[in-house]
Structures are given as C-alpha cells and as structure tokens.
Amino acid sequence: MTDNEYPYVSGFTDRHGKKRWRYRRAGKTIALPGVPGDPEFEEAYSAAIEGRERRLATVVRLPGQALPGSFQSAWKKVQRGPDWLAFDPKTKAKNVSLAGQFLELPVAPSHPEVWGDMLVRDLKRRHVKEILAHYSETPHKAKHVLVAIRKMIAVALDEEWIETDPTWKLSYRPEYTGWRAWTAQERADFESRWPLGSTPRTVYGLALWLGNRRSDLAKLEWKSFDFRENTVTIAQTKGGKTLVLPITPMLREIVDPIERKSPFVIVTAYGDPFSEKSLTGRMADWTHSAGLPKGCTIHGLRKTLGKLLAETGATTRQLMETLGHDNIEHAELYSREAEQQRLARDAMSRLSRKYQTKKPVG
C-alpha cells in the first residue's frame, strides 16, 4: 500500500505483534479494521474521509439458516444421522417437538437470543440446570428435553466443535409413577359391567392379555392371529419390534365371541377402526360407567399384565420378550416389586412362626 492509495493512513505493529491500521488527520485518530482491500476496511476508511459513522452490514436471516457450530446446526445433523432415520414417525415427531421447544427457548429473560442460535461450545453446566428448571412443573418433559439436548451434544462431539460434554453425569431422574396397574377389584367391576363380546370388554381383554399399547391395539387385524399355531403376531409401532405371543385361554375367551365384520379386530359401531386417541377417550367413558376411579387406563392394563407375570415368577427376560421392552429397567420395575412382596411375605411368615404364641394344651 502506498500513501497515494490511502492518504492519512499508516500502519503499525501492536504489542501482540499484529499489524494494524489507523487513520490520522487534524488531530483525530481512527482505528481501521481488517487490512486494506477488505470490505470492512474500505467502509471504515470512506467513513473517516467523509466524516460520518460507519455503515454496518445488514444481516439477513434466511429461512432454515443455521450458524455453523450452533445448536440449530447440530439438530439438523441429528436428523440426518442413522439413528434418527431408524426412528418411527411418531418418535420423530415427538423429538422434533421437544427439540423445537429447546431451540426456541430464550437464553435468558432479558436476552434476545434463543438457544438455537447459540454455539454448542458456549453451553455450560449451569445453563443446563437453568433449562431443566424452566420445565420444573413438567419434570418428565424436562427429562426428555435433556435427552434431545444430548443428541445435539453428541453431534458436536463427533464434529469436534467441543471436547467435553457439559451434561456428563448430570443426573435428572424425576420420580416415576406412570400409569398404574388395575387392582383385582377394578378388573372384576369392569368385567361385571361389560360382557364378553362387547366392544369395551374386547378392548379391555386385548389390552390386558396381549399387554400392548393403544397404537398396536387400534391397528390389530385378524390376520395377525394364527389359530392353528395358537399364536398372535404383533408388529409394535413403538420401536418396530415384532412379538409372537401365545393365544392363552384368557385371550381366546375374549376373541371367540367377536363378529369378524372387518379386517380389524376392534371396530366402531360403523365398522371403522378406532384411532389411538378415540380408544383412550372411550376407555375413560367405559371405566366411568363401570364405577371405576380415574387412572384405570389402557396402558394401565399393560402394567397389570406385567405385574401379574412378575407375581407368578416370570423372569426379567421373559417380561421383556412378552411386553416388547428394549430397556431392562422397565421390565425390572415389575420384577422388583413382585420380588419385594414375595421376600417380605416369606420373611414375615418365618418370623411369625418363630414368635407365634402357642395355645396351652388343655
């Protein structure tokens, strides 16, 4: 660069050894960014010559734009990964919703930025705790949001945007109660109200003796039953697992009285299959009609089967294969409860026999 090219501009080396440029005229000194030829340098020089403020470039956000290294960028990469592609549509939709809530969450009440625009490397452990606190009234949602965040962090680690996981060993396990199992009295009251062959009893019986979710019950077809081999094949919606279950006498009692007017086992009065949500609503009506309290749900019947299996000595592995669980912890919920009751009963029985007061011989 010559003095003729940029009058009043001189270069110097700062204390860090970096070459910098400045404009000096009439006792005024203005620092010039970049190097001669850069757009930002040229604009700053023109502004100094003309005696005006620098014009800053206008940032235009394009639809779907994601800053490299940001959470938004990480989430886009999550959705292109092999694990994501293997998810069923329902699981994908749930994850998209949870991730979207996090990405649109403000970094702070007075902060204009949202987490989607923030760099993953700027996430600190205290930030994660603040995010979870935001969902304190819905602890299970908080747990699932944390799972979504960890998916993005895993991408950031793979891409080498970060070197450590700020959520490492961050334990967040809200107390889990879930849908409860039906009591023996509740089952008896429901069966007394709704006879075999009725739609309420059919839904109840299939949910109880197959132990499957409402999504699987709604799409259950007669072709799934092989009465010669005495089996029924269930292709689970959640997880995509295929189960081959025996047709027990209890299950046969349920299906034998049903008229086969449709490919689907459970149909409305118009012969159409039920939707998942309508099954939930109708079960609420049917249990209310039977005088049952709130909490007697279709998923609760799945829990009931797990409880009954555990109480009759089924192993954790048998529970997993019958109910279609991939996570051993879910199956152990049933076996641990049944084992605790069994061990306590046996222990107290031995104690009672030892300390029982014997009647005097007359």
Structure confidence by residue, pLDDT tens digits, 260-305? 889 999 998 888 899 888 999 999 999 999 999 999 999 999 989 9
Q: What tokens were used for 71?
A: 């959470």
- Domain encompassing residue 24: 9-50
Give the pLDDT confidence score for residue 115 in this predicted structure: 93
Residues 6+ apart with CB under 8 A from 57: 39
Beta-carbon contacts of residue 212 (< 8 Å; ≥ 6 apart):
206, 220, 234, 236, 243, 302, 324
CA distance 81 to 95: 14
Lowest mean pLDDT among 44-53, 100-109, 300-309, 338-347: 338-347
Q: Is residue 353 part of a domain?
A: no
pLDDT of residue 139: 78
Look at residue 178 in the predicted model and tell me its pLDDT: 61
Q: What average pLDDT does the segment 60-67 reach?
A: 60
Percent of the chain with pLDDT over 70: 90
Is the pLDDT score of 334 beyond 80?
A: no
Does residue 56 contact residue 62 with C-beta atoms inside 8 Å? no
Does residue 30 fall inside a structural domain? yes
Q: Are residues 102 and 210 in the same domain?
A: no
> What is the domain count for the chain?
3
In a domain, 141, yes or no: yes
pLDDT at 172 over 70: no
The reply to whether 36 falls in a domain is yes
Q: Are residues 127 and 193 in the same domain?
A: no
Q: Answer yes or no: do 281 and 237 share one domain.
A: yes
- 153 and 16: one domain? no
Q: Are residues 140 and 247 in the same domain?
A: no
Shared domain for 124 and 204, answered yes or no, is: no
4 falls within a domain: no
**Same domain (yes/no): 150, 245:** no
Q: Is residue 66 situated within a structural domain?
A: no
Question: What average pLDDT score do residues 325-332 get?
Answer: 72
Residues 82 and 15 in one domain: no
Residue 138: HSE in the Cβ half-sphere, 13 Å Cα cutoff:
9
Q: What is the pLDDT of residue 199?
A: 94
The answer to whether residue 318 is domain-embedded is yes
Q: How confident is the model at residue 61 (pLDDT cuts 50, 70, 90)?
A: low
Residue 177 within any structural domain of the chain: no
Q: What is the CATH number of the domain that holds 213?
A: 1.10.443.10
What confidence tier does 236 reach under pLDDT thresholds 50, 70, 90? confident
Same domain, 30 and 149: no
Confidence of residue 311 (pLDDT cuts 50, 70, 90): confident
